[in-house]
């Protein structure tokens, strides 16, 4: 095969505009893929590096109860240290300010991996001999300095130093409560240690040979209490962190693949337009003796070269995005990340991007190869058989599925995501096609409107495709926005006035009456028990499989409330009353009942902190998340669980200005009680919601850009036709004003059609999500919805007019000359 550089170059120049649009579509796909790939590689590396530090040892044992003797004995065979963490309220005597914080007691030797650098440069344990070591935020919030006094529990400490960082506590969303370090002696002195206190206890083990970690962990699991003591190794990050990161990237992968798919449609459309414009050239070349291979070789070469250019530009932009996104990513993820575009990530995205580009380019190239010499003389249809069209269509779906599978590395997930995206795409395509077809058939009375809609009948108009892509992007984007609004209105903005804004934890049962009097505000107090389901109808629950999924499957510990009244946020779904006439009764929340597969009448065997209990399921409830009210998986009649261990927590609605003073007073009267101001949590949730929508928008704007490119490409490729039509209209007496009205009308109809279809799809999908997934009411969004409809409508109209306006001004004569 001879390569003809002149032909290659001239054909590239002749199609420069359309090829530039194609390159931009590749750029968008490359940007999406490279950013996600770069983020993932960076996070994987960071987690691998941080895991050992994050774990705090080669093997770490966790428990919220005191460790069993057997486990302690087993751990003592190895080099080990202990740490214990708990939430507490610190009080500054100098100004009576309080701070909800996390206290951590550490033994000498901590940390095994990484370090805790102090402001003074001293060693941590040296400083702990003199008092507490605190995080900078403690000093800022309490307006204190090193050397001043801080009261925790019953003891007043001196702040001896400031910790600059902590190796096993990532920043970002996990760092809500500031850190205070103490020794175990200091912890004892606080007087906060009680049998029922909620403590996070750890034993950190350091091995001579880290590779033996799994072996040692298994030994410890054999002797530990299965449901109570969890053993992890440095080889895996903490389960919750791993799951969160996994879900985060699954979501991102989905967004990236959507952006790539939409960009791919842009690629296909722009290439089709370009190759159609080369029909005469190809036909002439064929009449001169070039064969199909010649045509495919040269045009594929042009496509590859352009795709490579687009990819490299995308890679560059991704590199910049990654560097700029470090802080953002660290806020979204529980690990400190410095995102960079690694060589591995670059090659990965190069492979994916070019593979996808070729998949989308295959159909236009195939069609170019089918152009026959007779096309020189007349328009010859190169319509492929249905079978061929099906094959190429399937190639696209398979390519996207393969891309998704490569990224999420889970066949099931890849299948379901592909299916979901395909369903959304099909609905959007069907709606777009039907509406456009209906409009094309209409013969409105208005000449301007009729002329405008008439131009959609031209085959190269691509109206259905433009409407489909833009409306699908708008649908996904608007769904995210509407759901964010729903969550915000439900959880944050529209919280009823009586919703609690203060939570008080670790109240002792015997303190309840006095506590209520001392608070002087109305309290809702809840006695909370931690319960686990052991058997259902005599059959033990299967506790095989990953422990981290126990909570998800209903096999983990649950919160239970002894009460005779149905909680305010609950409604009965089955059973006329909570317990009926049954004494040994339990009411189960609907999601737990579904996960465990239990129904009314089933007999449960429960473990209540080691105390067995039998009860019959007498009702099933639904529990709403409104207003930050506590939700309990199980409810018992109080007499059934009398004497069983429990903790008490309370919620209250306090005037904003009184919260601080109340917290101070309680810290003095009840040093063991932890008080949490919910406004910070609410602020954090709101921030995360906005960030998630921002993330969705980032990728979807790529798709919207692709849709706009298709619009521009279709309008550009039709300019000859449009100019000719304008000339004919002028010949028949139409003036410039008429032609402008036609163009504006056509593009306004297109714009509002797109935003209408997109918004309709978004309303439908967000209504489904709000009802079935998020369990929140559909938000009030009257004015916003109007803007969501109007703005894209005008945007598309303006763009369409901008690309077409020169056509209106062209003189008719050049288009009417013969020959």
Partner 1 sequence: MAPILEAKQVHKTYTREDAPDVLALRGVDLVVQRGEFVAVTGPSGCGKSTLLTVLSGLDLPTSGQVSIAGREVTNSSEQELAELRNKEIGFVFQSFHLVASMTALENVAFPAELAGQSDAEERARRLLDQVGLSDRMDSFPHQLSGGEKQRVALCRALVNRASLIFADEPTGNLDTANGEQVLDLLISLQKDEGASLVLVSHSPDVVARADRVVMMRDGVVVE
Using CB under 8 A as the criterion, which residues of the chain lie in contact with partner 1 when the complex forms? 447, 450-451, 454-458, 721, 724-725, 727-738, 811-813, 816-818
Q: Which is nearer to partner 1, 484 or 746 (CB)?
A: 746
Q: How far is the CB of 764 from partner 1 (least distance, A)?
A: 33
Q: How far is the CB of 448 from partner 1 (least distance, A)?
A: 10
Per-residue HEC secondary structure of 347-406 comes to HHHHHHHHHHHHHHHHHHHHHHHCCCHHHHCCCCCCCCCHHHHHHHHHHHHHHHHHHHHH
- Separation between Cα atoms, residue 366 and residue 51, nearest integer Å: 50
Q: How far is the CB of 468 from partner 1 (least distance, A)?
A: 21
Whether 216 and 203 have beta carbons less than 8 Å apart is answered as no
Q: Which is nearer to partner 1, 175 or 454 (CB)?
A: 454
Q: How far is the CB of 744 from partner 1 (least distance, A)?
A: 17
Strand partners, 605: 535, 614
Q: Which is nearer to partner 1, 768 or 813 (CB)?
A: 813
- Separation between Cα atoms, residue 336 and residue 170, nearest integer Å: 6
Q: Taking the CB of residue 271, how many other CB atoms lie within 10 A of it?
A: 31
Whether 580 and 503 have beta carbons less than 8 Å apart is answered as no
φ/ψ region of 22 (left if φ > 0, alpha if ψ in -120 to 50, else beta) reads alpha
Q: How far is the CB of 709 from partner 1 (least distance, A)?
A: 24
Q: How far is the CB of 438 from partner 1 (least distance, A)?
A: 17
Pairing of strands 179-183, 97-106: parallel
Residue in 106, 113, 109, 99 with CA at minimum distance from that of residue 55:
113
Q: Please compute Rg for the chain using Cα positions.
A: 33
Return the sign of the alpha-carbon dihedral for residues 399, 402, 404, 407.
Answer: negative
Q: How far is the CB of 728 from partner 1 (least distance, A)?
A: 5
Whether 721 and 460 have beta carbons less than 8 Å apart is answered as yes
Query: What backbone phi and psi angles, to 5 degrees, belong to 518?
Result: -70, -30
Q: Which is nearer to partner 1, 69 or 818 (CB)?
A: 818
Q: How far is the CB of 378 from partner 1 (least distance, A)?
A: 11
Q: Which is nearer to partner 1, 426 or 731 (CB)?
A: 731
- Separation between Cα atoms, residue 630 and residue 568, nearest integer Å: 10
Whether 713 and 21 have beta carbons less than 8 Å apart is answered as yes
Q: Which is nearer to partner 1, 374 or 731 (CB)?
A: 731
- Separation between Cα atoms, residue 110 and residue 446, nearest integer Å: 82
Token representation of residue 736: 């410039």
Q: How far is the CB of 732 from partner 1 (least distance, A)?
A: 4
Whether 515 and 651 have beta carbons less than 8 Å apart is answered as no
- Separation between Cα atoms, residue 80 and residue 64, nearest integer Å: 18
Q: How far is the CB of 451 from partner 1 (least distance, A)?
A: 8
Q: How far is the CB of 809 from partner 1 (least distance, A)?
A: 9
Q: Which is nearer to partner 1, 510 or 817 (CB)?
A: 817
Whether 284 and 376 have beta carbons less than 8 Å apart is answered as yes
Q: How far is the CB of 814 from partner 1 (least distance, A)?
A: 9
Q: Which is nearer to partner 1, 446 or 780 (CB)?
A: 446
Pairing of strands 674-677, 539-540: unpaired
* Residue whose pair of structure tokens reads 């009860």 in the numeric block: 615
Q: How far is the CB of 450 from partner 1 (least distance, A)?
A: 8
Q: Which is nearer to partner 1, 446 or 773 (CB)?
A: 446
Residue in 801, 817, 799 with CA at minimum distance from that of residue 809:
801
Q: How far is the CB of 737 from partner 1 (least distance, A)?
A: 8
- Runs of H (alpha helix) within 288-371: 292-324, 326-332, 343-369
- Separation between Cα atoms, residue 206 and residue 234, nearest integer Å: 10
User: Number of C-alpha atoms within 13 angstroms, CB side, residue 629?
Assistant: 18
Q: Taking the CB of residue 125, how many other CB atoms lie within 10 A of it?
A: 16
Q: How far is the CB of 443 from partner 1 (least distance, A)?
A: 9
- Separation between Cα atoms, residue 602 and residue 622, nearest integer Å: 18
- Separation between Cα atoms, residue 293 and residue 67, nearest integer Å: 74
139 Cβ contact list (under 8 Å, min separation 6): 145, 146, 159, 162
Q: How far is the CB of 747 from partner 1 (least distance, A)?
A: 16
Q: Which is nearer to partner 1, 51 or 745 (CB)?
A: 745
Return the sign of the alpha-carbon dihedral for residues 51, 52, 53, 56.
Answer: positive
Token representation of residue 71: 């486990």
3-class secondary-structure state, position 46 = helix
Q: Which is nearer to partner 1, 95 or 720 (CB)?
A: 720
Q: How far is the CB of 753 from partner 1 (least distance, A)?
A: 18
- Separation between Cα atoms, residue 529 and residue 509, nearest integer Å: 12
3-class secondary-structure state, position 591 = helix
């Amino acid at each position: 095969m001879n390569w003809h550089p002149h032909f290659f170059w001239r054909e590239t120049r002749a199609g420069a505009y359309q090829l530039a649009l194609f390159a931009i579509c590749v750029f968008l796909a490359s940007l999406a893929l490279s950013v996600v790939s770069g983020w993932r590689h960076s996070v994987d590396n960071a987690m691998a590096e941080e895991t050992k530090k994050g774990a705090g040892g080669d093997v770490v044992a966790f428990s919220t109860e005191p460790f069993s003797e057997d486990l302690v004995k087993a751990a003592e065979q190895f080099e080990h240290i202990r740490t214990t963490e708990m939430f507490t309220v610190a009080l500054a005597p100098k100004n009576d300010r309080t701070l909800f914080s996390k206290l951590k007691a550490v033994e000498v030797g901590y940390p095994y991996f990484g370090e805790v650098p102090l402001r003074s440069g001293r060693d941590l344990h040296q400083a702990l001999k003199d008092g507490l070591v605190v995080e900078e935020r403690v000093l800022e919030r309490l307006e204190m300095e090193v050397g001043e006094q801080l009261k925790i529990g019953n003891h007043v400490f001196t702040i001896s130093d400031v910790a600059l960082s902590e190796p096993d506590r990532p920043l970002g969303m996990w760092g809500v409560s500031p850190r205070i370090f103490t020794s175990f002696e200091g912890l004892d002195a606080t007087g906060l240690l009680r049998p029922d206190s909620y403590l996070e206890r750890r034993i950190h083990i350091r091995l001579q040979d880290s590779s033996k970690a799994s072996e040692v962990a298994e030994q410890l699991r054999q002797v530990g209490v299965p449901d109570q003591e969890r053993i992890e190794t440095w080889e895996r990050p903490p389960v919750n962190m791993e799951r969160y990161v996994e879900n985060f990237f699954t979501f991102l992968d989905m967004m990236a693949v959507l952006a790539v798919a939409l960009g791919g449609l842009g690629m296909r459309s722009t290439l089709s337009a370009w190759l159609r414009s080369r029909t005469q050239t190809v036909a002439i070349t064929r009449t001169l003796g070039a064969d199909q291979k010649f045509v495919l070789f040269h045009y594929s070469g042009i496509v590859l070269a352009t795709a490579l250019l687009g990819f490299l530009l995308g890679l560059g932009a991704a590199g910049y995005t990654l560097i700029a996104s470090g802080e953002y990513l660290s806020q979204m993820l529980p690990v400190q990340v410095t995102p960079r575009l690694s060589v591995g990530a670059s090659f990965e995205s190069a492979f994916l991007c070019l593979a996808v580009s070729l998949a989308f380019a295959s159909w236009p190239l195939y069609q170019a190869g089918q152009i026959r010499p007779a096309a020189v003389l007349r328009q010859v249809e190169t319509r492929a058989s249905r079978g061929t069209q099906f094959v190429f269509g399937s190639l696209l779906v398979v390519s996207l599925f393969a891309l998704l599978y490569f990224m999420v590395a889970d066949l099931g997930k890849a299948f379901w995501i592909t299916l979901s995206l395909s369903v959304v795409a099909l609905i959007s395509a069907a709606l777009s096609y039907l509406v456009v077809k209906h409009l094309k058939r209409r013969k409105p009375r208005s000449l301007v409107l009729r002329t405008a809609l008439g131009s959609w009948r031209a085959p190269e108009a691509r109206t259905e495709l433009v409407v489909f892509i833009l409306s699908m992007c708008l649908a996904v984007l608007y769904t995210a926005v509407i759901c964010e609004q729903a969550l915000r209105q439900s959880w944050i903005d529209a919280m009823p006035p009586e919703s609690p804004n203060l939570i008080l934890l670790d109240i002792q049962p015997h303190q309840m009456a006095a506590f209520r009097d001392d608070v002087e505000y109305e309290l809702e107090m809840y006695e909370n028990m931690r319960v686990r389901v052991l058997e259902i109808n005599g059959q033990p629950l299967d506790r095989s499989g990953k422990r981290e999924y126990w909570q998800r499957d209903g096999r983990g510990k649950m919160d239970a409330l002894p009460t005779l009244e149905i909680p305010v946020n609950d409604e009965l779904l089955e059973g006329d009353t909570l317990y009926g006439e049954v004494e040994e009764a339990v009411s189960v929340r609907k999601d737990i009942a579904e996960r465990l597969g239990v129904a009314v009448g089933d007999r449960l065997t429960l473990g209540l902190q080691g105390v067995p209990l039998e009860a019959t399921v007498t009702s099933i409830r639904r529990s709403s998340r409104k207003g930050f009210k506590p939700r309990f998986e199980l409810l018992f009649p109080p007499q059934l669980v009398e004497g069983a261990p429990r903790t008490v927590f309370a919620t209250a609605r306090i005037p904003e200005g009184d919260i601080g003073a109340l917290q101070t007073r309680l810290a003095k009267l009840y040093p063991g009680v932890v008080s949490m101001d919910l406004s910070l949590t609410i602020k954090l949730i709101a921030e995360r919601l906005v960030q998630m929508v921002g993330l969705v928008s980032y990728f979807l704007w790529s798709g919207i850009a692709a849709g706009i490119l298709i619009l521009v490409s279709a309008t550009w490729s039709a300019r000859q036709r449009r100019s000719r039509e304008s000339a004919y209209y002028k010949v028949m007496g139409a003036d410039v004003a008429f032609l402008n009205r036609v163009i504006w009308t056509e593009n306004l109809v297109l714009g509002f059609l797109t935003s209408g279809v997109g918004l309709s799809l978004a309303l439908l999908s967000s209504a489904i999500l709000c009802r079935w997934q998020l369990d929140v009411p559909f938000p009030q969004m009257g004015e916003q919805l109007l803007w969501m409809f109007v703005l894209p409508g005008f945007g598309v109209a303006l763009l369409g007019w901008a690309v077409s306006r020169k056509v209106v001004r062209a003189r008719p004569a050049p288009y009417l000359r013969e020959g």
